[in-house]
C-alpha cells in the first residue's frame, strides 16, 4: 500500500469512528429522555363529554346551551415532585381545539424514571411571547387565535348559543385575551395527581354558564374588565380525572 493510500485509509477510519461515536452519543441522549406522558384534555358539561353542536341542559340556567367552538392555549407545562421542579415540556405552547380531535391529546417527553405528583401550566400565552407578535406552529394566526400586535393572542375561545341569550340568534361569544396591564388575562393552573402514563384533565364548562354570562356579558371580544372577570373563573374548571 502506498504512503498516500495508507494515509487515506487511516483518515477514512478516523472519520468513521467519529461518525459512529456521534451516533452513539445521540442515541444515548435520546434514550435518556425516552419516557413520556400522554396529556389529554376532556371538556364536559354536567359530567357528560362535550360534543360540539349538541344541546345540554343547565339546571342553574333553566335553559339548554349548545357549544359550537372551543379553543384554548396551554403553555409552560411543568412537572413537580411536591414543590421540587422535575421537568418541563419542550414545546412551550399547545393549542387545543375541540374541532381537531388529535389536538386534544399531546405526548410530553420527560426524563427517564422521572417521578412527579403535580403539574403546573398557564392558560394562555405569556406577555413576553405576546410582545414578539405573531409566530408559527400552534401560535400561527391561521388558527384564528390572534387579534393583532397590540391585543395579542386569544387565550381562550368559547362560542355557542342559548335561548335565554339576548344576542343576535341567541349567540354567546367569549374571546378571552389581553396581556397588557390592567387587562392581563393569563391564568395559572396547579393540579395534583397520581403518576401514570397518562394524565386526563377535565374541563367542567357548565360552571362558566351563569345568568350574568348568558344574559349580560354574553359577548366578550377584546381585552377588558369583563374579560378578566371571565378569565378568573378558568382555573376552577380544570381538574384531574380520578
Interatomic CA distance for residues 36 and 53, integer angstroms: 33
Asked if residue 187 lies in contact with residue 122, where contact means CB atoms within 8 angstroms, the answer is yes
CA distance 226 to 107: 34
Q: Which residues pair with 81 in a beta bridge?
A: 84
State yes or no: pLDDT of 30 exceeds 70.
Answer: no
Question: What integer pLDDT is reported at residue 242 of this predicted model?
Answer: 81
Together in a domain, 87 and 9: no
* 203 shares a domain with 110: yes
Q: Give this prediction's pTM.
A: 0.85
Q: Do you know the residue count of the chain?
A: 242
- Examine the domain organization and report whether 10 and 115 are in the same domain: no
Cell of 182: 390592567
Distance CA 147, CA 188 (A): 22
pLDDT at 83 over 60: yes
Beta strands in 133-226 (DSSP E): 146-148, 152-162, 171-177, 187-192, 198-204, 219-220
Show the domain range for 220: 35-240
Percent of the chain predicted with pLDDT > 90: 81
Q: How many domains does the chain have?
A: 2
Please tell me whether residues 162 and 177 are part of one structural domain: yes
Same domain, 219 and 136: yes
State residue 12's pLDDT score. 44
d(CA 75, CA 109): 15
Statement to judge: residues 27 and 72 lie in one domain:
no
Question: pLDDT tens-digit profile of 84-115?
Answer: 999 999 999 999 999 999 999 999 999 888 89
3-state secondary structure of 181: coil
Q: Tens of pLDDT along 229-239?
A: 999 999 999 99
Do 7 and 73 have their domain in common?
no
Please indicate, yes or no, whether residues 63 and 110 belong to a single structural domain of this protein: yes
> Are residue 103 and residue 7 in the same domain, yes or no?
no
The Cα–Cα gap between 99 and 3 comes to: 68
Higher pLDDT, 188 or 15: 188
For residue 5, name the pLDDT band (cuts at 50, 70, 90): low
Cα separation, 235 vs 123, whole angstroms:
8
Are 85 and 147 part of one and the same domain?
yes
Tell me the per-residue pLDDT of 162-220, one tens digit each, with 9 for 90 and over.
999 999 999 999 999 999 999 999 999 999 999 889 999 999 999 999 999 999 999 99
Amino acid at each position: 500500500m502506498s504512503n498516500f493510500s495508507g494515509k487515506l485509509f487511516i483518515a477514512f477510519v478516523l472519520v468513521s469512528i467519529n461518525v459512529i461515536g456521534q451516533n452513539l452519543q445521540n442515541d444515548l441522549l435520546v434514550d435518556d429522555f425516552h419516557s413520556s406522558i400522554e396529556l389529554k384534555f376532556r371538556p364536559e358539561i354536567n359530567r357528560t363529554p362535550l360534543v360540539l353542536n349538541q344541546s345540554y341542559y343547565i339546571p342553574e340556567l333553566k335553559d339548554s346551551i349548545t357549544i359550537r367552538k372551543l379553543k384554548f392555549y396551554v403553555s409552560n407545562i411543568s412537572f413537580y415532585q411536591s414543590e421540587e421542579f422535575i421537568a418541563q415540556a419542550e414545546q412551550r405552547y399547545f393549542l387545543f381545539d375541540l374541532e381537531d380531535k388529535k389536538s386534544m391529546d399531546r405526548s410530553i417527553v420527560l426524563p427517564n424514571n422521572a417521578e412527579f405528583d403535580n403539574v403546573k401550566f398557564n392558560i394562555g400565552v405569556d406577555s413576553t411571547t405576546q410582545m414578539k407578535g405573531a409566530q408559527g406552529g400552534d401560535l400561527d394566526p391561521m388558527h384564528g387565535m390572534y387579534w393583532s400586535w397590540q391585543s395579542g393572542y386569544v387565550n381562550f375561545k368559547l362560542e355557542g348559543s342559548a335561548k335565554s341569550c339576548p344576542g343576535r340568534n341567541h349567540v354567546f361569544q367569549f374571546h378571552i385575551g389581553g396581556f397588557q396591564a390592567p387587562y392581563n388575562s393569563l391564568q395559572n393552573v396547579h393540579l395534583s395527581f397520581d403518576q401514570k402514563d397518562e394524565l386526563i384533565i377535565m374541563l367542567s364548562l357548565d360552571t362558566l354558564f351563569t345568568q350574568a354570562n348568558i344574559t349580560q356579558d354574553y359577548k366578550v371580544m377584546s381585552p377588558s374588565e369583563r374579560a378578566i372577570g371571565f378569565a378568573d373563573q378558568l382555573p376552577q374548571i380544570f381538574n384531574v380525572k380520578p
